[in-house]
Amino acid sequence: MSANESPAGRQPTATYDSPFMKACRREPVPHTPVWFMRQAGRSLPEYRKVRAGVPMLESCMRPELVTEITLQPVRRHGVDAAIYFSDIVVPLKAIGLDLDIKPGVGPVVEEPIRTRADLARLRDLTPEDVSYVTEAIGLLTRELGPTPLIGFAGAPFTLASYLVEGGPSRTYENAKAMMYGDPELWADLLDRLADITAAFLKVQIEAGASAVQLFDSWVGALAPADYRRSVMPASVKVFEAVAGYGVPRIHFGVGTGELLKLMGDAGADVVGVDWRVPLDEAARRVGPGKALQGNLDPTVLFASTEVVETRTREVLDAAAGLEGHVFNLGHGVMPSIDPDALTRLVEYVHTQTAR
Ligand code: CP3
């Protein structure tokens, strides 16, 4: 270990000792760290400018563009962490699936995965498939200084929901029909996706990501018993695959009030909470030994500054007894939000929690 390397390996000591990393490890912090899911994106005019004319998936494969977009919210808002600019379907595209991200819609898969024969299309992901990720993270960690970079991936269930449905869905009827009706095929599908997801996270950590977040955005559609039986084993496999790196692992989903305990048990160090469950109650559900991340309702940002501050204060009060707290929204930044409201929110959380 060289002088400027941390106990966790690749990152500089200043990154390892940053408020975000400390909060994830449940250590004392100088102030509550803040970042926002979807902080890079259409809410920022500078994002819309550099993305003009470049399709979403193509932009994820250009290291200089990825670097610029990832840095934009750090420069503008002074957030405590960057999140790598990409999308959950990037590794699936990288192994050759015919899919696209349609503006205003989301990921669309040309030929959905519905049968055992379809599984053959899900080959393993190698680092060479996503060499642009390694390159971009190399550029980024040089630019970021002490600010940690969060890598991420879609969790097996949320990826499967797009692959089986063929696109966004409100009911997940095809995915759930497979889960209930052909549990062996479903288990094999999720297992394949777990391997791909784990490989994608490893690439990001090896390249220099300081933490990783597993987005199981749509898993709140499941009852706890079905989560435990049909989804949790695959997510456990992902978390176990990266456990040896010692980087914080965050686990997030929407509408997961009834799943918080299981999502923590799946192997996360930090459990992400949407706005439906107050953080003190979430901590009771999750149990000891985990930090929490969240959980201001993103739509609160459409209200006045005074209302934003009152609601933020409530989140901070509910978080007062937590072992570790990373402030975030309960889900992603909405494209139509005024970015100045986000800058003010970062400042407010920092001053309110300065110790
Ligand atoms: O700043 C960040 O958080 C990093 C970037 C990021 C994107 N996608 C960029 C993006 C992250 C973390 C994601 C993850 C992602 N992608 C999730 C999980 C997070 C969540 O919100 O629950 C999901 C479910 C997806 C799938 C997806 N990709 C959707 C639903 C959409 C929106 C479609 C639309 O146009 O409204 C996308 C496209 C996408 N991914 C955009 C961005 C900035 C918007 C497209 C664009 O800017 O052209």
Query: What is the rounded distance in angstroms from the CA atom of residue 324 to the CA atom of residue 113?
Result: 40
Q: Report how far apart, in Å, the C-alpha atoms of 221 and of each of 125, 128, 227, 253 are.
A: 28, 35, 9, 10
pLDDT, one tens digit per residue, over 119-156 is: 999 999 999 999 999 999 999 999 999 999 999 999 99
pLDDT, one tens digit per residue, over 278-287 is: 999 999 999 9
Architecture per CATH, 13-353: Alpha-Beta Barrel (3.20)
12 against 9, higher pLDDT? 12
Residues near 201 by Cβ (< 8 Å), separated by ≥ 6?
Answer: 151, 152, 153, 212, 214, 238, 241, 242
Q: Which pLDDT does position 331 carry in this prediction?
A: 97
Q: Which pLDDT does position 3 carry in this prediction?
A: 43
How far, in Å, is the centroid of ligand 1 from the Cα of 57? 11
How far, in Å, is the centroid of ligand 1 from the Cα of 355? 34
Characterize the bridge pairing of strands 249-252 and 211-215.
parallel
Phi, psi (deg, nearest 5) at residue 58: -65, -40
Q: Which pLDDT does position 10 carry in this prediction?
A: 72
Give the pair of three-digit tokens for residue 200.
């994608």
Q: Among residues 16, 47, 84, 162, which one is catalytic?
A: 162
Half-sphere CA count of 116, side-chain side, radius 13 A = 4
Residue 1 has pLDDT above 50, yes or no: no
pLDDT, one tens digit per residue, over 213-226 is: 999 999 999 999 99
How far, in Å, is the centroid of ligand 1 from the Cα of 310? 28
pLDDT averaged over every residue in the chain: 96
Residue 9 has pLDDT above 80, yes or no: no
Name the nearest CA neighbour of 106 among 38, 149, 162, 46: 162
Query: What is the rounded distance in angstroms from the CA atom of residue 23 to the CA atom of residue 291?
Result: 7
Phi, psi (deg, nearest 5) at residue 114: -130, -20
Name the nearest CA neighbour of 113 among 164, 177, 171: 164
Half-sphere CA count of 271, side-chain side, radius 13 A = 28
Please give the torsion angle defined by the CA atoms of residues 216, 220, 224 and 230, in that order, rounded to the nearest 10 degrees: -50
Question: For this structure, is 42 an active site residue?
Answer: yes
Name the nearest CA neighbour of 76 among 340, 353, 345: 340
pLDDT, one tens digit per residue, over 301-324 is: 999 999 999 999 999 999 999 999
Which 8-state DSSP code applies to residue 310? H
pLDDT, one tens digit per residue, over 194-207 is: 999 999 999 999 99
Query: What is the rounded distance in angstroms from the CA atom of residue 352 to the CA atom of residue 306?
Result: 14
Q: Please state, as a whole number, how many other Cβ atoms lie within 10 Å of the Cβ of residue 53.
A: 7
112 close to ligand 1 (CB < 6 Angstrom): no
Query: What is the rounded distance in angstroms from the CA atom of residue 216 to the CA atom of residue 225?
Result: 16
Q: Which pLDDT does position 201 carry in this prediction?
A: 98
Which 8-state DSSP code applies to residue 16? H
For residue 150, give the H/E element and its range.
strand 149-154
Q: Residue 271's beta-bridge partner residues?
A: 251, 292
pTM above 0.85, yes or no: yes
Task: Enumerate the domain spans of the chain.
Answer: 13-353
Question: For this structure, is 87 an active site residue?
Answer: yes
What pLDDT band is residue 7 in, cutting at 50, 70 and 90? low
What pLDDT band is residue 2 in, cutting at 50, 70 and 90? very low
